[in-house]
Structure 1
Amino acid sequence: MMIKVPRGTEDILPEQAKKWQYVEAKLQELANVYNYQEIRTPVFESTELFQRGVGDTTDIVQKEMYTFTDRGGRSLTLRPEGTASVVRSYVQHKMFGLPQQPTKLCYFGPMFRYERPQKGRTRQFVQFGIEALGSADPAIDAEVMAFALDCYKTLGLKSLRLVLNSLGDMESRTNHRNALIDHFSPHKDELCSDCQNRLEKNPLRVLDCKKDKDHPAMESAPSILDYLNDYSRQYFEQVKAYLDKMGIDYEVDANLVRGLDYYNHTAFEIMSDAEGFGAITTLSGGGRYNGLVEELGGPETPGIGFALSIERLLLALEAENLTLPIEESLDCYLVALGDEPKQEAVRLLYDLRNAGIQVDMDYMDKKMKAQFKAADRLKSRFVIVIGEDELNAGKVTVKHMETGEQSDQPIDEIVPYLQKMTREGE
């Protein structure tokens, strides 16, 4: 029986992988522009990290985590998101003591959630994310949202929409929580079992329910914006003022709550309005999480960040019919005719590669015509032919595939010759 990839996962084949490499390189360039440094954390962590960091009442912790017990009896979990791991590392390595603050970090990596697979949602997915730890300035909230938008704009996407909300500070959230309980309690028996549990533990999660989203009580639910205290309201106004200054369009959605418990104050999502993108329109999301560092054993430290799915980014590019400028060609292909010429070709292949020239050759003992066809398929700019006659004369034949021009070049001068020719074509 053929063994296939597990449900909800996929192979990234070479042609597609080139798109991933291009996108990841662009995101890394952007991180450098914004001065965010890369951090790499383990793929699995202590289960407690996500129970405390993400929240016991979230669907992620209750239903979606890949959790296992190792041989030492420890409960470990494949990371379902990146922020908790980055904050754990921030606390463990005492980055709060670094002289330059805030600490600005970025990461790439696979995440794992046991969800029902569908377009744009898989059980293993790759995220790019950033975290800014140490500043409670509303200006950095605006910076993070600008960064998130630029991740898409730098790749040419246009059908974008920034949606934001304020979840307020602890006082505002407590007042809103009580109002939500009072509002939904008369309808408790009409809600799904998950929401019945959430109503007492974390009623904000009720607003994020997919099953009950069309219940009439959702439409009339109390808005967090009506329960913001003066500090939270002023903070949110400052965030919006900075976005206005940057000329960034946005819309406020009082029902935007995000799916993680650690968010407070600013919460946001970036949507794709591209036709045909699919039912899941959210490209990325993030927000402020003051209090998470303390929850994980560190000092009082504000923080904000966002994460995007590389898979959904690629789907958005496809929906907008954008083609990435990926170079699909080879500098040079070696055609060897005979055993001794092949030995010389192997040496020359090594020398050319050491000189930074992208080059390949035949390893299937094909005839010369078939080797030229292989060079065509690889879109090789030049072909070098080495036969017995060329070898005896101490030279090779170089063919420029675009023009058809051929010339004989000394073997001991072919490396600098091709370096010059490939540079001229750049």
Structure 2
Amino acid sequence: MTFQAPRGTEDLLPEETAVWRKVEGLFHSICARFHYGEIRTPLFEQTELFVRGVGESTDIVNKEMYTFEDRGGRSLTLRPEGTAPVVRAFVEHKLFGEGGGPIKLYYMGPMFRYERPQAGRQRQFHQLGVEVLGSHDPAVDAEIISLAWTFFQELGLKGIQLQINSVGCPTCRPMYRESLIRYFTPYEEELCEDCRKRLTKNPMRILDCKVDGEKDFVKEAPIILDHLCDDCTHHFERIKGMLDDLQIPFVINPRLVRGLDYYTRTAFEFMEGSIGAQSAVGGGGRYNGLVSEIGGPDVPGIGFGLGMERLVLALRNQGIPLEGDDGLDFYLIAVGERARRERIKLMQTLRRAGFKVETDYAERKMKGQLKAADRLNARCALILGEEELAEGKILLKDLKTGEQEKVPLLEVVEACRKSLGISRGLGYFDPPVSEE
């Protein structure tokens, strides 16, 4: 019997994970520049968190969650999105009492939804996301959009379109809801089964329906922007002005409502045309009532999530180089039994200094080992034979230029640093360099 990865999942082999690390590393870097701290939440949560947070009328809760009972009879769900777990952690750990300013967080990791697998969309998928909790300021809305925009630019992605909308607030949305119910009621028989259920529960979700969304009568439905209260209108106008100031182009999409019930006011998506009909690489918005909905104080929030698989697919479709930095610093060639014994200690020394080092374990001849070094994209070779051991030295050869020199074994770390143009070690815990 042979086994395969479950439908809707995929293995990431070393060549692919090198690409992912490159994308994730850039996201870590940009979030640090914007002063966001990383948070890591469990892969599963109490089911009720998503029912209350994401919304009972959403496809996620009704159709897509992986829910199970543990041995204690508790209902648990593999997280289908990242915001509700972050907000739960924010409430549980009382982060709202820290510092008086907004809490700025980011995350990355796998999510799970039972849906039809397609290019860039799997049942186990991965998100990069940010959340800001504790500020009503529209400048925060502009900041997180700017963070995502900076990320796209530094990845080299072209043709990203930012679509924005306001979905109102508890003051103005009830009037819009009644307007939609009145409008769609004559078309009830033409709606899909899901939308007939949504008609009285959450008619805004009809605008987002994959089945009915493109029907003419849905496209002609009333738009939320005509029903906003003064506060929501002012908030939306300020965001548009700030995006103009930041020179971030945008398109107003009055039918953009997103797929989750917790959104209020700002909603946005980032679209990219090369990855198919469902061309969103990510999106987000405000959720000013979510914290109180799951038991916390009345604290506003805003965030976004980006789909890692869809980002990588877009990068490949645009022909953007994605090779990860998996080349070696040094390939250690040992010739002779004594040299092969000595290399173990030598590799440990170099690796502890932070260098990426590999050696030959097949006892190939010198020519075969040099070919292996080239195949592994090593920058330099370190050659240790009987002659070098007798001299207490090792041969350091630059595999790009062919230049070589013998250096004392006791000074090999410094020589390796010099050969790579590095003034100190590469390890995470290197001691500080003396200023003497």
| TM tier, smaller | over 0.9
Within 1, Cα distance between the matches of 2:126 and 2:310?
Answer: 10
Q: CA deviation at 1:111?
A: 0.5
Flag the 1:248–1:381 CA change in 2: closer, same or farther, 3 A.
Answer: closer
Q: Are 1:95 and 2:127 an aligned pair?
A: no
Q: Give the SS at the match of 1:171.
A: coil
Q: Does 1:356 align with 2:357?
A: no
Aligned residues: 424
**Superposition deviation, residue 40 in structure 1:** 0.9
SS in 1 for 2:306: strand
CA distance in 2, matches of 1:424, 1:202: 60
Aligned match of 2:412: 414
Q: Name the counterpart of 2:51.
A: 51
Instruction: Please state whether the residue corresponding to 2:276 is helix, strand or coil.
Output: coil
Aligned to 1:169: 169
CA shift, 1:364, in A, is 2.2
Q: What's the counterpart of residue 397 of structure 2?
A: 399
Aligned-CA RMSD value:
1.7
Q: Is the 8 A contact 1:161 1:270 kept in 2?
A: yes
CA drift of 1:306 comes to 0.6
- Provide the rounded CA distance (Å) in 2 between the counterparts of 1:254 and 1:125: 28
Residue deviations 1:264-283 (CA, integer Å, cap 9, x gap) = 1110001113xx33222111
Output the CA distance in 2 between the equivalents of 1:369 and 1:12.
33
Partners of 2:290 and 2:401 lie apart in 1 by: 62
Quote how far apart the aligned CAs of 1:356 are: 2.1
| 2:292 partner letter | E
Q: Is the 8 A contact 1:126 1:309 kept in 2?
A: yes
- Unaligned 5+ segments in structure 2 are 425-436
In 2, the alpha carbon distance for the partners of 1:413 and 1:105 equals 44
- C-alpha change, 1:17 and 1:285, in structure 2 (3 Å) is same
2:371 is aligned, of 367, 373, 385, to 373
Amino acid at match of 2:11: D
Deviations along 1:213-268, one digit per CA (max 9) or x if unpaired, are 23232122111111112222222112212222222211111110000000011100
Cα distance in 2 for residues equivalent to 1:125 and 1:109 = 8
Distance in 1, matches of 2:291 and 2:414, equals: 56
Aligned match of 1:272: 272
**C-alpha separation in 1, matches of 2:233 and 2:352:** 61
Write the letter of the residue equivalent to 1:112: F
* Alpha-carbon distance between aligned partners in 1 of 2:405 and 2:302, rounded to the nearest angstrom: 61
CA distance in 1, matches of 2:36, 2:393: 51
In structure 2, what residue type is equivalent to 1:208? D
**How many angstroms apart in 2 are the aligned matches of 1:105 and 1:425?**
34
CA distance in 1, matches of 2:343, 2:100: 53
Q: Equivalents in 2 of 1:325, 1:119: separation in Å?
A: 21
SS in 2 for 1:237: helix
For residues 344-401 of structure 1, the C-alpha deviation after alignment (integer angstroms, 9 at most, x for no partner) is 0111111111222221101222232221111110121222222233323333333222
For the residue of structure 2 that corresponds to 1:174, the secondary structure is helix
Match of 1:121 in 2: 121
Partner of 2:395, secondary structure, is strand
Counterpart of 1:281?
Answer: 279
Which structure 2 residues correspond to residues 142-153 of structure 1 after superposition, within 5 A?
142-153=142-153
Q: Which residue of 2 aligns with 1:35?
A: 35
Distance in 1 (CA, whole Å) between partners of 2:161 and 2:33 is: 23
Instruction: Classify the secondary structure of the residue corresponding to 2:355.
Output: coil
2:18–2:326 Cα contact (<8 Å) kept: no
**1:63 equivalent in structure 2:** 63
**Conserved? CA contact 1:355–1:419, under 8 Å:** no
* Larger deviation, residues 21-30 vs 358-367: 358-367
Matching of residues 253-402 of structure 1 within 5 Å: 253-273=253-273, 276-324=274-322, 326-402=324-400
> Matched residues, percent identical?
52
How far residue 52 of structure 1 moved from its aligned partner, in angstroms, is 0.2
Alpha-carbon distance in structure 1 between the residues aligned to 2:250 and 2:345? 59
Deviates more, 1:23-32 or 1:61-70: 23-32
Distance 2:322 2:280 in 1: 22
Specify whether residues 214 and 354 from structure 1 end up closer, same or farther in structure 2 by C-alpha distance, changes over 3 A only.
closer
SS at match of 1:232: helix
The answer as to whether partners of 2:141 and 2:302 remain within 8 angstroms in 1 is yes
Cα distance, 1:328 vs structure 2:
4.2
TM-score of the superposition, structure 2-length normalised? 0.94
Report what 2:252 is aligned to.
252
Amino acid at match of 2:216: P
What is the TM-score of this pair, normalised by structure 1? 0.96
The 10-residue stretch of structure 1 (78-87 or 208-217) with the greater mean CA deviation from structure 2: 208-217
1:108 touches 1:127 (CA, 8 Å); kept in 2?
Answer: yes
Aligned equivalents of 1:242, 1:407: Cα separation in 2: 58
Match of 1:242 in 2: 242
